[in-house]
Amino acid sequence: MSDQMTYWTASAPPPEFPQLRQHEDADYAIVGGGIVGLTLACLLAEQGQQVVVLEGNRVLHGTTGHSTAKVTVQHDLIYSELAAHFNIENARLYYETQDAALQFMRRTAAAMPGGCEWSDEDAYLYASSASATTKLMKEFETYQQLGMPGQWLEEVPLPGLAASALKLPGQAQFHPVRYLNGLIARIVQAGGRIYEQTRIDAKLEHRGGRPLIRALHGPEITARQVIACSQYPFYDGGGFYFARMHPAHSYIMAVQPEQPFPGGMYLSVDEPKRSLRAVTIDGQPMVLVAGESHQTGQGDPASVHFANLERFATQTLGVRQIPYRWSAQDWQTLDKLPYIGPLSPGHPDVWVATGLRKWGMTGGTAAALLLRDLLLGVENRYATLVTPARFGIDPDLKALVKENADVAKHLLAGKLTFPDRDPGHLRRQEGAAVVLAGKRAGAYRDAGGQLHLVDTTCTHMGCECAWNDGARTWDCPCHGSRFDADGQVLSGPAVKPLRRLLPGGEPADATPVTFT
Ligand code: FES
């Protein structure tokens, strides 16, 4: 994720932690400082376990700090889809697990000194077109089968929208960074150690029978168990995660509306998706308007997506001002269930939680609760449903083939499409693929007029990265790695930075280089 300022990180900056400077040893090494890693670290540390959290950038500056922060079990049309793809019992298990996570968060928030802006809300899925309404009715029928307290409404209580809705009472919204800052305090209090700017190399070794991982800048970490809680696992371990997940990018803006917002949390079934929830910023009632999801590194520039959201907000609520805009990246799996459990066969001491789609608040908490149980040897019924090994049991081969065909297409497209821009013609704060010494390169001219040049070949598997003009990042269309304007990794699977280039096109040395 880029270091875009989101309302969450701007209004409650997380505490800062040092970079790892010495070798570490712990019971559990947790890679990733978002909601999964920090919730798990808190659960384990408060059970007396030695925990180390290793974050490649800053804690809570990834997807968690870029979320819309809805705490709901209403995950789009998931229940009818799970019932159709698996069976009604698996849909029930998913519901019960997400609901248990919601209740855990509600209890945790209630006990939090200073609070976390928790507010109980009704959640609404709404549909306008005939086909979306048919899908929504199917979801309602599945709610009834599951005994979920859903209600069918002929009108969604949003001004300016003609749509029927499926209401689910008893859900919530909150301030995710305040909530997790509370958990960070508890981790530190319980003796847990947190390190930032500590990106882990994509390798796993063993020493004395314990897994050993290494920070890119040198220090080693040994542990009884290693848990990959970053969005994308730092180590693939033969799990083929790159082939069975894809990253999606979406956009969020905080809007001061002209019309009063009725409360509640909303998500459209129709495409393009629209999501709304209230938030109070500097004492002013505002609405987070989100949507425009697309595969990372593909499609229109961010400015187009923000303009589409603004048009929707203007039609629905009226817009006085938009104080915040940011984007988020989520990972989608083949069957819409996350991968939580042992990383891959043959790696009993490495665990993973990934593929939470856009439901990382309850989904991330459920993942942490499950991992806590798995690590401490407690039975948990959710484990079989979300085990990464289910791929071998129930491969959705068609989707996998399509996923890999898409990767191949973008790998090729990036190589065959030659840019026609000259870096000298870039305006301030503009980035693009350019021609540099007869070769493709990436260039960004910053606000001060400095030019930042990189080789856009992704260091993961060689696809060509595209410029994201919203987050000002280089995004890979194949598996979603993201790099800043100087090529530093913001999110994997890549762990190595893009090569920086000199104005003549030759590689720069290790020192950051900028040009006018
Ligand atoms: Fe896989 Fe870029 S993320 S090639």
Residue 41 has pLDDT above 60, yes or no: yes
Average pLDDT over residues 393-411: 53
Angle at 131 between CA 127 and CA 137, to 5 degrees: 60
Identify the pLDDT of residue 406.
63
Identify the pLDDT of residue 418.
63
* Domains of the chain in sequence order: 7-66+177-243+336-400 (3.50.50.60), 408-516 (2.102.10.10)
Identify the pLDDT of residue 512.
47
Identify the pLDDT of residue 239.
83
> What residues does 194 pair with on adjacent strands?
53
Structure tokens at 486: 């100087």
- Ligand 1 pocket test: which of 412, 479, 498 has the largest number of ligand atoms within 8 Å of its C-beta? 479
Q: For 5-15, how does the pLDDT look when each residue is reduced to its tens digit (9 = 90+)?
A: 799 999 999 99
Q: Give the position, in ligand 1's atom list, of the atom nearest the Cα of 411.
A: 4
Cα–chain center distance at 512: 28
CA distance 135 to 115: 38
Tell which wins on pLDDT, 241 or 92: 92
For 111-173, where are the alpha helices, taking DSSP H only? 130-146
Tell whether ligand 1 has an atom less than 6 A from the beta carbon of residue 276.
Answer: no
Tell which wins on pLDDT, 164 or 509: 164
Does residue 45 sit in helix, strand or coil? Answer: helix
Rounded to two decimals, the pTM is: 0.85
Tell whether ligand 1 has an atom less than 6 A from the beta carbon of residue 493.
Answer: yes
What is the residue-averaged pLDDT of the chain?
Answer: 90
CA distance 440 to 120: 51
For the chain, how many helices (H) and strands (E)? 11, 24
Residue 510 has pLDDT above 80, yes or no: no
Nearest Cα residue to atom 1 of ligand 1: 479
Identify the pLDDT of residue 516.
44
Contacts (Cβ under 8 Å, ≥6 apart) of 282? none
Q: Give the position, in ligand 1's atom list, of the atom nearest the Cα of 463.
A: 4
Over pLDDT 90: what percentage of the chain? 69
Average pLDDT over residues 322-342: 92
Identify the pLDDT of residue 391.
60
- Ligand 1 pocket test: which of 232, 404, 454, 460 has the largest number of ligand atoms within 8 Å of its C-beta? 460
Nearest Cα residue to atom 4 of ligand 1: 461
Average pLDDT over residues 27-31: 98
Average pLDDT over residues 381-396: 76
| Residue given tokens 């870096």 in the structure block | 423
Angle at 62 between CA 57 and CA 66, to 5 degrees: 145
Structure tokens at 463: 């696809």
Tell whether ligand 1 has an atom less than 6 A from the beta carbon of residue 254.
Answer: no
Residue 369 has pLDDT above 50, yes or no: yes
CA distance 158 to 312: 13
Contacts (Cβ under 8 Å, ≥6 apart) of 45? 51, 186, 187, 190, 191, 192
CA distance 100 to 288: 26
**3 pLDDT tier (thresholds 50, 70, 90):** very low
Identify the pLDDT of residue 322.
96
Average pLDDT over residues 34-38: 98
Average pLDDT over residues 184-206: 96
> What residues does 279 pair with on adjacent strands?
286
